[in-house]
Structure 1
Amino acid sequence: MQYRMRKHQLSEEEITKLLTKQPVGNLATINENGYPYVVPVHFTYHEGKIYIHGLPKGQKISNIQANEKVCFETYFMKGFILDEKPCDVNTEYESIVIMGTAVIIDNFDLKEAVLNKIVKKYTPHLKGTKMPDNVIRGTGVIEVTIEECTGKYYK
């Protein structure tokens, strides 16, 4: 284990807080040629899983259908820790890396609950607004089950 992982691990509470407040994460999938494909995504953390919404078709959806293994990452960079020597400049941050498996959600009720959580997170002034059924059905929702999660910080 890296020195910083031993010395600077985020607690479960800190990981939950970061997953709840960060607006953007990065989802990595594997494409048909075996290359990683990473895209920034809006997400919500709900009942111990990561949920991502978007179009119901596209490369990340195709990649997940072919290979369920994914990596998800998010971080918060607080700023630089400056020093007199360039090699001693550092970064104050918190970061999370998750390895897991992803599936495309078809269950209408779960999709509606997830989309309502996303509305509440990104547009809280619209929370409680009823979404049309066709919008819920027509939105792709990815569920990432967390198999391994590491969080670290430096300050």
Structure 2
Amino acid sequence: MTCFYLIIYQLNSLKLDQKTKTLIKRAKVARLATVDQKSHPYVVPVVFVFHENSFFIPLDEKTKSVNPKKLKRVKNIGRNPNVTLLIDKYQNDWEKLFFLMIHGKAVIVDSKNSKIMNKVHKLLISKYPQYKKIGVGNSCIKITPHGITHWGHSN
């Protein structure tokens, strides 16, 4: 028998079940949604790590047309810190689909928070070996979740 499930966490303290933690750890890409100055959604694919109940998205050293701190997602967060991070998995076998929709507040953290940044850098390099060549960068987006919607299809 197959079934769909929908779990909604309203978070005062983040207590995720082991299956959700495993889905987060295994996911390599997510989509970050912010809101621009005209109240339009702005969505970009991102890499991330999960550490101490927060999600960290690097503002890395990949080639960009602007300084990382001038990226549209960073400007949007400066105006409105409410964000959504979507982690999903699509397969042709629809019994293996899932998504996690994380609602939270975002801030930019940088080398001033050296202890947390050192740990986040290590986690990012471990998860994404490409960062050994291009560099993680000196700042990242930190998302503190206040709610998670989790949907999936399981056997």
Give the TM-score taking structure 1 as reference length.
Answer: 0.76
SS at match of 1:37: strand
The farther-off stretch of 107-116 and 23-32 is: 107-116
Q: Which has the larger radius of gyration?
A: 1
- C-alpha separation between the residues in 2 aligned to 1:79 and 1:58? 34
Deviation, 1:140, is 2.6
CA separation of 1:8 and 1:31: change in aligned 2, threshold 3 A: closer
* Amino acid in structure 1 at the alignment position of 2:107: V
Contact kept? 1:56, 1:141, Cα under 8 Å: no
For residue 103 of structure 2, what is the aligned residue in structure 1? 99
Aligned residue number for residue 116 of structure 1 = 122
Q: In structure 1, how many angstroms separate the alpha carbons of the residues matched to 2:85 and 2:28?
A: 13
State whether residues 57 and 140 of structure 1, in contact with CA within 8 Å, keep that contact through their aligned partners in structure 2.
no
1:15-94 map, 5 Å: 15-54=20-59, 55-81=68-94, 92-94=96-98
Task: State how far apart, in whole Å, the 1-side matches of 2:43 and 2:55 are.
Answer: 16
Alpha-carbon deviation of 1:109? 2.2
The answer to whether the 8 Å contact 2:49/2:123 transfers is yes
For residue 69 of structure 2, give the secondary structure of its aligned residue in structure 1: coil
SS of the residue corresponding to residue 144 of structure 2 reads strand
Tell me, what secondary structure is at the counterpart of 1:105?
A: strand
Question: How far apart in 1 are the matches of 2:119 and 2:70?
Answer: 21
Is there any run of 5+ residues in structure 1 with no aligned partner, and where? 82-90, 127-134
RCO comparison, higher one (Cα < 8 Å, 6+): 2
Amino acid at match of 1:145: T
Sequence identity (%): 26
Please list the CA deviations of residues 23-62 of structure 1 after superposition, one character each: whole Å capped at 9, or x if unmatched: 0000000001110100000000111111000233310000
State the one-letter code of the partner of 1:20: K
